[in-house]
Amino acid sequence: MKGLPIFINMEDKKVLVVGGGNSAFIKIRKLLDFQCDVTVLAKDFLPEIRELKGINIINKSFEEKDIENFFIIVASADVKTNELVYNCAKAKGILCSVSTGKGSGDFIFPAHRRNDRLTVTVSTDGGFPALSKKLCSKIDLSLGTKIEFFERKRREVIDNIEDLALRKKVLNEIIEDDIIYSDDYIEKTENILKRYF
């Protein structure tokens, strides 16, 4: 799947997860992390799913009418049920993620890490999810703590440099690897900015 990497505000969006196993559990936790309004539908559930706070549980087999009024659907059950869920969602124009099989469904859940200021995702386009997860774990989230500082400096550059080409040059200078990954990034950044304003 050659998916378009986009970020959608999922807060309070209604999501239906069909399935009650481990795959569903993993997806539900991700959805809750982004404040989705999650409903889980299955005949059987892992105890861990029942223990989750903030989800609606429907204990029954899937029927076509169950997809009404949902923003997205996550099919995370057996192959036959997932195919039925996907076909019903497609007929209604609702995006559906399917847990069984590479390339099936409209979207995937890429490996992701996040903190208050930074969200990082990595995908192998469904080809090797474990590799995506491994690569994502290597990304330094400590940069997230520096983002607020660099946002302020960006604003200062915009406010003090009118020439767009020079502005771009300065902004690129302050985000060089030897600056953003250094312990003395504040001093190095301030020294660069002193040369311009």
Give the CATH H-level superfamily of domain 14-109: NAD(P)-binding Rossmann-like Domain (3.40.50.720)
Encode 42-72: b = buried (16+ Cβ within 10 Å), e = exposed: beebbeebeebeebeeeeeebeeebbeebeb
Structure confidence at residue 95 (pLDDT): 96
Residue with tokens 């997230």: 144
Report the 10 Å Cβ neighbour count for 120.
19
Structure confidence at residue 1 (pLDDT): 63
The Cα 71–Cα 14 span in angstroms is 5
Structure confidence at residue 102 (pLDDT): 60
The CA–CA distances, whole Å, from 44 to 19, 62, 64, 163, 175 equal: 8, 12, 19, 62, 50
pTM of the predicted model over 0.75: yes
CB 93 within 8 A of CB 72: no
Q: List the chain domain ranges.
A: 14-109, 143-194
Q: What is the mean pLDDT of each run of 10 residues along the chain (197 residues)?
A: 85 97 95 96 96 96 95 93 95 93 80 83 85 85 81 96 97 92 93 95
Structure confidence at residue 103 (pLDDT): 61
Structure confidence at residue 104 (pLDDT): 76
Backbone angles phi, psi at 86, to 5 degrees: -60, -45
Q: What angle do CA 126, 129, 130 make, to 5 degrees?
A: 160
